Structure 1
Amino acid sequence: MSRRLPGVARTLRDVRPLDPLSSIKIKLGILVAATVTLAVMITWLGLQLEMGPSRTFPVAILLSLVLTQFLARGMTSPLREMTHAVQAMADGDYTIRVRATSRDEVGQLAAAFNQMSEDLASVEQTRRDLIANVSHELRTPVAALQAQLENMVDGVVPATPAMLEQAHAQTERLTRLVTYLLDLSRLEAGASALSVSEFDVGDLMEECADGLQMVDAAKDLHYIIDVTPPNLAIEADRERLHQVLTNLLQNAIRHSPRDGDIRMDAYPIGETVVLEISDQGPGIAPEDRERIFQRFARGTASSPGTTAPAAGSGPDGAAGIAGSTPPASGGTGIGLAIVRWAVELHGGHVEVADSDEGATMRVTLPARAHPAPGVTAERLGDE
């Protein structure tokens, strides 16, 4: 019995008889009316029993104060719980929740506080995951680059063009990761500027594919570029669009099977230009097709029993289209969020399109420069 007493006492101290009421004004009115009524009844009863005012009034006041304390404590319990929760959150504990059973303004505040606590816990977990993932992504190329350079300095291996090319590839990997992190900071800061020019879509696709030839060397992948019409042009920020295509291509490469095909299609629809990157990987589960565009989101592959890494979990922190690489491969989970940010700056949108095989990422952009509201566009000379 002794173990139960603290819990029972705690329950009695937290009784909230006025919770069903929907307004704190009504609660205060009932509180005043109840205490006044109780005082009047005790006074009347004392007079009827001929106890006299000297004994009746103190009893009436004391019992009224007890009733006030009982009712007011239940009304203010969420506020005390929030104070305790805030102190715990200041120490890094985001697990405490407030009992939000009342329907008045204090109850609504408690519910909002619980939602804020959940959001802060999610943000804190995201921060920890980001630090861990970025640390992993930075450590891998740095360690490889350091080992290669030490071997060449110590004379273990000669400084052949192949070794120098490998070292150069690692530095490029580091550069891409830093670029993604800088883009993330711009996204957070709301940066919204474009350098617009007109250029050939087919040339840009070939440039992106040629720039990633070394990435897929071990897989012997085949690129199929289909631009209709062949001279299709678009007004956009070429650097941003290059980033979008490269980002998607890196992950199509990563998740494609050996000797597979990667399609790059472009075609006009009305006043827009559609760009598609398709792979032959396991695809993306339908329930994840919208969520993967959120920062740090992780998705699951559409094929049974296959788990995809984080969206944006490519070797360079790029956006993952789909795949079966285990989570240990690392990833920052920011790639697709950056892709969506860059596309929306242009007034376009990106989505996962339905496909019979693998995954297809579809980017739709205005053919003529039409940035999103609030986005400034500097027009450069046409190419």
Structure 2
Amino acid sequence: MMALVRRVATPMFGWLPRPLDPVRSIKAKLSGALGFAGGVGLLIFWWSLDWVRIDVMWFAVAVALGLVTLQVMAHGATVPLREMTIAAKAMARGDYTRRVRATSKDEVGELAQAFNQMAADLAAADRQRRELIANVSHELRTPITALRGVLENIVDGVSQAEPETMRVALAQTERLGRLVAELLDLSRLDAGVVPLTRTAIDVRGFLEDAVSEAKVTAEGAGHDVRFEVVAPEIRLTADRERLCQVFANLLNNAARHSPPGGTVRVRAERHDDHVLIAVIDEGDGIPPAERERVFERFTRGERARDGGTGLGLAIAHWVVQLHHGTIAVVEPALATGCHIHVTLPLEAPDRTGR
């Protein structure tokens, strides 16, 4: 009801003058406004009594007590505003820990609650920025250091440019390329540039192609794992390149965290107008407390033993959402392993993918 009143009243009274804008204290504004309104009411009351004679001393005492009362009442109303001013100045210096006590139920209380939410969001953004700098610095430094070492050995004659040595250099270069690609995808995500080119996809053929690429990557990284694909004849409409990002990431993660000789299983099932694709490894799994957080940016968790930016699953989550699907870590049917379920609609909800 109050929201409706505000929507109606705002355009109606927006044209009214604002004579108190030059006053620098909101307490003075409140006191002046209430004093003026009270004075007008008193004059009308006095006029109704045919201008009865009033003792000047008692009139002055009443005015003084009224002003003191107004100051006391206005103080409580303006304390949250002063706290917000102090907190805003602290945030300008990088301190996002300050909060405002929001106990009143009026507009000032709503403003205080919104301010506290903004402060929390800014603190989270600042923390993510620091994590981004730390993670990207680490991820860039590691392959650059390895690549530099390989090249220095070749230049100094310590080692020869043999295929094995060049494969090491190539692996580090590919790692740098993946990092740059993930950062570019992250910038597109933030900018809202999310074009989708939907085509008809044969799920079984698509998963077999994804597994073939994952095998090559796993062998190049020295991971001794096997892949199994079980999928019936299912066709869906989606952006093939974007989905390749999702399953390349899921399969590479599964291969990295599987034990030597382990098996990564990919299973597809049709459920009404959706397809469920499960990626299952035989690793240690993800603790229940981390299963929601692994899809947040820069969250690497306990499984991240051998690198990773913490962006891959966040990008996978973004791509699946673009397709109006879901992705989640589910409770494994067996004692160990990580089970990730991706659910996608068989048909595009609309042409834009939004």
Matches within 5 A, 1:149-168: 149-168=151-170
Measured in 1, the distance between the counterparts of 2:351 and 2:298 equals 26
Q: Which amino acid aligns with 2:195?
A: A
Matched, 1:363 2:332: no
Contact (CA 8 Å) 1:226, 1:265: kept in 2 or not?
A: yes
Aligned to 2:231: 227
Gaps of 5+ in 1: 1-27, 41-51, 299-307, 310-322, 377-383
Aligned to 2:317: 340
Matches within 5 A, 1:274-353: 274-297=276-299, 308-309=301-302, 323=303, 325=305, 331-353=308-330
Q: Cα gap change, 1:121/1:373 in structure 2, threshold over 3 Å: closer, same or farther?
A: farther
How well do the aligned residues superpose, as a CA RMSD in angstroms? 2.8
Gaps of 5+ in 2: 1-29, 43-53
Q: Which amino acid aligns with 2:184?
A: L
2:80 to 74, 78, 81: 78
Matches within 5 A, 1:96-115: 96-115=98-117
Between structures 1 and 2, the one with greater helix share: 2
- The TM-score with structure 2 as length reference comes to 0.77
Measured in 1, the distance between the counterparts of 2:201 and 2:309 equals 31
SS at match of 1:185: helix
Q: CA deviation at 1:297?
A: 4.2
Q: Which amino acid aligns with 1:335?
A: G
Matches within 5 A, 1:139-154: 139-154=141-156
Q: Cα gap change, 1:54/1:194 in structure 2, threshold over 3 Å: closer, same or farther?
A: closer
Q: CA deviation at 1:225?
A: 1.9
SS at match of 2:197: strand
Q: CA deviation at 1:121?
A: 0.7
Aligned to 1:188: 190
Contact (CA 8 Å) 1:282, 1:324: kept in 2 or not?
A: no
Aligned to 1:252: 254
Q: Which amino acid aligns with 2:213?
A: G
Contact (CA 8 Å) 1:133, 1:330: kept in 2 or not?
A: no
Q: Cα gap change, 1:64/1:233 in structure 2, threshold over 3 Å: closer, same or farther?
A: closer
Contact (CA 8 Å) 2:198, 2:237: kept in 1 or not?
A: yes
Measured in 2, the distance between the counterparts of 1:147 and 1:374 equals 47
Give the % identical residues: 48
Q: CA deviation at 1:283?
A: 1.8
- The TM-score with structure 1 as length reference comes to 0.72
Q: Which amino acid aligns with 2:337?
A: G
Q: CA deviation at 1:32?
A: 5.0
Q: CA deviation at 1:149?
A: 1.3
Aligned length: 306
Contact (CA 8 Å) 2:196, 2:352: kept in 1 or not?
A: no
Contact (CA 8 Å) 2:223, 2:256: kept in 1 or not?
A: no
Q: Which structure would you say has the larger RCO, counting Cα contacts within 8 Å and 6 or more residues apart?
A: 1
Q: CA deviation at 1:184?
A: 1.1
Aligned to 1:179: 181
1:129 to 123, 131, 150: 131
Q: CA deviation at 1:336?
A: 1.9
1:198 to 197, 200, 209: 200
Measured in 2, the distance between the counterparts of 1:257 and 1:344 equals 31
Q: Cα gap change, 1:345/1:89 in structure 2, threshold over 3 Å: closer, same or farther?
A: same
Q: Cα gap change, 1:114/1:347 in structure 2, threshold over 3 Å: closer, same or farther?
A: closer
